[in-house]
Amino acid sequence: MTTVTQPKEASEKVDLWLRMYRQMVAIRQFEAQVNELYTRALMPGLAHLYIGEEAVAVGVCEALERTDYITSTHRGHGHCLAKGASPDRMFAELLGKKAGYCKGKGGSMHIADPATGNLGANAIVCGSAGIATGAAFSSRCLGNGRVSVCFFGEGALGQGVLYEEMNLAQLFKLPVIYVCENNLYTEYTHYSETTAGDILSRAIAFGLEAASVDGQDVRAVHATAQRLVDRARRGDGPAFLLCDTYRYHGHHVGDINREYYRSKQEEHLWKTERDPIAKLGKWLVEQKLADVAALDRLQTELESEMKKAVDFAVAAPYPAVDEVGEDVYA
C-alpha cells in the first residue's frame, strides 16, 4: 500500500514546492517592479516592499483554501499575491487606476479582494486583528469551515488590541491564526528596543497553540502553518505563528539610507545566506527536483509577466473624478 501511495504523495509535494518557488519569485519580481515604478516617479505615494519575506506569505497561504480569509498589512503585496490576486489589477491599484482591486480608492496599503478571501490590507498597525478574528467568528456561526489568518509585523506586538483579540479568540475557540512576521525592524527601530520579554509566551499565556519557525524556509513555514490551519479547521481553536524573517529594503521605498539603524553587513548576510528563494532553489536542485536552468527561466518568465502587468496598469485610465463620492455608503 505504502509503495503505491508514496510516489503520488511525493509528486504532490514536488508540485507544492515548485508552486511555492514560483509564487516567491512572482512576489519578488512584482516588488522589483514596484520599486522601479517608484524610482521612475510613476507611482503616487509610497509602498512598503515585501522582498526578503516571501516565504512567510507563500508558506502560510499555500496552507489555505481560496475561500479562507486573510487580513494583510501596509507591507501587504506579498500576502495578496500569495492568496491569489492578479498582478495586473494590483499594479493598477498601486497607480490609483479604475481597473485596480479597489477602483483606485485604496492604493498600495488597502488592497482587498473578496474573490480570494482577502479582507483587506490595513495601514493601521494591528488594525486588522479584530477583522480577522471577526471573520473567524462568522465561520464558527455559519459553520462554513473557513479559517482566518491575520498577518502582522512584530511592530503590532505593541498594540493592546492584539491581546484583546487573542483573548476573545481563545474564549470563543475561533479558527484564526495570528501570523507574526518578525522582520526585526519596527519601522526604523530594532524590535529588541520595543518588545519586552518573550514573544511566543504572550500567545501561550492566552492558551493559544503557539509555534515559531524559520521564516526564510518556506517548507518549514508551510508545514507548521498547515498543522495550525488543520487544527483550527477541526475546531481546536486559535494559534499564533511566529516567523523570523528579514526585510531587504527599507521601511518603504524611499528609505534608502539605513545605516543609522542597521548595518550593510547585516543586510548582506541575510541576502546571501538566508534568502528564501535561493534556499528553496538550492534544495530543489540538490534533490534533483529542478535544474538551475529551469529555475533561471522561471525568473525571466515572471519578470516579463510582471512587466506586462505594469504596462497594463500604466495604460489603464484613472477613475472619473465624479466617482470620488461613490462607495462611501453601501
Partner 1 sequence: MPETHLHARDDRELTFAQAIREALAEEMRRDPTVFILGEDVAEAGTPFKVLSGLLEEFGKDRVLDTPISEAGFTGLAVGAAMTGMRPVVDIMFGDFVTLTMDQMVNQAAKVHYMSGGKWRVPMVMRTTMGATRRSAAQHSQSLHAWFCHVPGLKVVLPSTPYDAKGLLKAAIRDENPVVFFEDKMMYKLKGPVPADDYIVPLGVADVKRVGEDITLVATSSMVQVALGAATLLEEVGISAEVVDPRTMWPLDERTLIESAKKTSRAIVLDEGYERYGVTAELASVIATGAFYDLDAPVKRMGAMHVPIPFSPPLEDVTVPTEQTVFEAARALCGR
Residues binding partner 1 (CB under 8 A): 69, 71, 100-106, 110, 112-114, 119-120, 122, 124, 127-139, 141-142, 148, 160-161, 164-165, 167-168, 171-172, 326-330
CB of 106 to partner 1, least distance (A): 5
- Residue 114 Cβ vs partner 1, minimum distance, rounded to whole Å: 5
Report the chain's C-alpha Rg in angstroms. 20
| Least distance CB 176 / partner 1 (angstroms) | 9
Output 132 or 184, the one with its CB closest to partner 1: 132
Please, which residue, 124 or 269, has the CB nearer to partner 1? 124
Minimum distance of partner 1 from residue 226's CB (angstroms) = 23
Minimum CB distance to partner 1 smaller for 35 or for 167: 167
Cβ nearer to partner 1, comparing 106 with 281: 106
The rounded distance, in Å, linking the Cα atoms of 191 and 178 is: 18
Residue 123 CB, nearest approach to partner 1 (Å): 8
Cβ nearer to partner 1, comparing 125 with 302: 125
In the block, which residue shows the cell 520599486? 35
Shortest Cβ 105–partner 1 spacing (Å): 5
Q: Are 294 and 275 in contact (CB under 8 A)?
A: no
- Beta-carbon count within 10 A of 5 CB: 9
What letter would DSSP give residue 1?
A: -
Identity of residue 327: D
Helix 276-286 and helix 218-234, axial crossing angle in degrees, nearest 10:
100
CA distances from 154 to 61, 82, 198, 200 (A): 19, 20, 12, 11
- Of the pair 16, 161, the CB lying nearest partner 1 is at 161
Q: In what order do the strands lie in the sheet with 176-182?
A: 118-121, 69-72, 148-153, 176-182, 239-244, 209-214
CB 242 within 8 A of CB 303: no
Report d(CA 233, CA 246) in Å as an integer.
Answer: 29
